[in-house]
Structure 1
Amino acid sequence: MGTITTPDGTTIFYKDWGPRDGQPIVFHHGWPLSADDWDNQMLFFLSHGYRVIAHDRRGHGRSSQTPSGHDMDTYAADVAALAGALDLRDAVHVGHSTGGGEVARYVARAEPGRVAKAVLVGAVPPVMVKSESNPGGLPIEVFDGFRAALAANRAQFFIDVPSGPFYGFNRPGAEVSQGLIDNWWRQGMMGAANAHYECIKAFSETDFTEDLRKIDVPVLVAHGTDDQVVPYEDSAPLTAELLKNATLKSYEGYPHGMLSTHPDVLNADILAFVRS
């Protein structure tokens, strides 16, 4: 574990495990979580000989609680600073939800040789909010509701989200894991309320269309069909169409947080993609 300091003085916390000469796999977490959300995947890929890295986005987890910079351009710049500091080459960047947007923006702008492949899991691209150009998106009122709930009682909101739509625990017959709910709350409450509030705009209103069109490396687009946070039809198929070299893999009935509810399936599929 360590930290880097970005050009604007922000401290970014990261984990870096495994052989220095192993192929790097970099994990980008969702809102409002931290690098800890990838514990299962990091241990899995570490056991297969990879160098595994995960960072806490600014304002999240153990990174600086900054007054500004809670936008996708800055998030991507922070990743570029981390990749430069660690001199990561031929890395695979894996992003979940908001982290998928971060991956798209970073990979589209990355220095040649830095990125070999990318994986988007339940990711927010191309764009979430409804508009004339994105009629299948979610109304802005949905995200206004997120902001209102966070401002009113963040601690309760961060129980309600994982208890319900995030992991699909609100579905009939769902096998509820209290540990996942508690860990989601723990990670969320480590971060800054202002960062989480402003990040809602970043993940919901940023248009990644041009980023996706610029990406040349192979990309695995993995998405659950019962994703209640980032609806499948307005995300994964549209993202795959915009990419030059995409593999779309749909998971019937899987929820938004499938990396935690079905890690055995997701880990094996990502490993096969990385090795392919």
Structure 2
Amino acid sequence: MSGIETMLGVTRRELLEGALAVGTVAALAPTAQAMAQGHSHHGEANMATITVKDGTTIFYKDWGPKTAQPIVFHHGWPLSADDWDAQMLYFLQHGYRVIAHDRRGHGRSTQTDTGNDMATYAADVIELADALDLKNAVHIGHSTGGGEVAAYVARSKPGRVAKAVLVGAIPPIMVKTASNPGGLPIEVFDGFRAALAANRAQFYLDVPSGPFYGFNRPGAKISQGIIQNWWRQGMMGGAKAQYDCIKAFSETDQTEDLKKIQVPVLFMHGDDDQIVPIADSAMLGVKLVKNGELKVYKGYPHGMLTTHADVLNPDLLAFIRK
């Protein structure tokens, strides 16, 4: 080695060691601060969270002017608040306050082993709405998040909710029962549970690669980024909570929740939804609410908020402004 090479070698090593030392200190500093604030399991002090009655930490995003009308987004299984990126940015640009949380057990919220049921999900949203003092809010839920919206709005305090939107949503009930003969057989959801338990990582690639976004249809424009983002969000959550959530989204009968809702409700559903078939969800749900309308999207898949945000966002805006 020449003198210059030796010097460069030492310099590189010293730089690397120095960077590692600085990086370690930088990594520890927010963790220590977060521990002081009781958010140590996140490792970041600046994350917005609330701690609900049973000690579960719920992560949320809250963007835009606090004086503007709030729009609250409720994600589907097994995803996170990140699934609403296209809507959050769109409505932020239109002057709204936009809020999205990670359901318990999902995303950056606590990986709970209990409370993974629709009633507790709704109770968590009640606490979030109280903590942020949300008034006259529009609640928009996709898939399982639509069930969460129905459960929350049915129980919400006066003045908290202005309107609700259920997109590709699960209510009134997904599973086939004596009173719901058009539902999906329990074996479908048992299959979900078996696949999750056997190889969650592979299952979370198969779902978005196929039926969720309609990427299994002839001529579909497949996006590898969308598939990987679905996988990323799914794998952030807890396996136990996501396993339990399958029962919550398939077997919870929300007929009475829908009947209790007084505010205007927009149902948006793709007629090629392979995850939540339209005939046994939106078609029935719109008849149960007092003030509902249904907008059907021909050929659109379950994940149409992502694949067709350019169409759905203006439709959502029009409903909110009405």
Q: Equivalent residue for 1:164?
A: 210
Larger Rg: 2
Q: Equivalent residue for 2:61?
A: 15
CA distance in 2, matches of 1:255, 1:41: 17
1:247 is displaced (CA, Å) by 1.1
Q: Are residue 77 (structure 1) and residue 111 (structure 2) matched? A: no
CA distance in 2, matches of 1:269, 1:243: 20
**Aligned counterpart for 2:132 among listed residues 86, 107, 113:** 86
Query: Aligned letter for 2:106?
Result: H
CA deviation digits over 1:139-163, x for unaligned, max 9? 0000000000000000000000000
- SS of residue in 1 equivalent to 2:220: coil
Q: Equivalent residue for 1:49?
A: 95
Query: Aligned letter for 2:130?
Result: G
CA deviation digits over 1:4-31, x for unaligned, max 9? 0001111000000000100000000000
Query: Aligned letter for 1:183?
Result: N
Query: Aligned letter for 1:145?
Result: G
Q: Equivalent residue for 2:188?
A: 142
1:119 is displaced (CA, Å) by 0.3
1:67 is displaced (CA, Å) by 1.7
Q: Are residue 215 (structure 1) and residue 268 (structure 2) matched? A: no
- 1:164-203, aligned counterparts within 5 Å? 164-203=210-249
Tell me the matched-pair count. Answer: 276
Q: Equivalent residue for 1:260?
A: 306
CA deviation digits over 1:28-76, x for unaligned, max 9? 0000000000000000000000000000000000000112000000000
Q: Equivalent residue for 2:168?
A: 122
1:168 is displaced (CA, Å) by 0.2
**TM-score, structure 2 length as denominator?**
0.85
Structure 2 gaps, min length 5: 1-46
CA distance in 2, matches of 1:36, 1:2: 14
**TM-score, structure 1 length as denominator?**
1.00
CA distance in 1, matches of 2:152, 2:282: 18
- SS of residue in 2 equivalent to 1:95: strand
Q: Are residue 36 (structure 1) and residue 85 (structure 2) matched? A: no
CA deviation digits over 1:90-111, x for unaligned, max 9? 0000000000000000000000
1:79 is displaced (CA, Å) by 0.3
Q: Are residue 27 (structure 1) and residue 96 (structure 2) matched? A: no
**Aligned counterpart for 2:111 among listed residues 50, 58, 65:** 65
CA deviation digits over 1:153-199, x for unaligned, max 9? 00000000000000000000000010100000000000000001000
Moved over 2 A (4+): none
CA distance in 2, matches of 1:211, 1:193: 28
Q: Equivalent residue for 1:113?
A: 159
CA distance in 2, matches of 1:177, 1:81: 37
CA distance in 2, matches of 1:67, 1:222: 32
Query: Aligned letter for 1:162?
Result: P
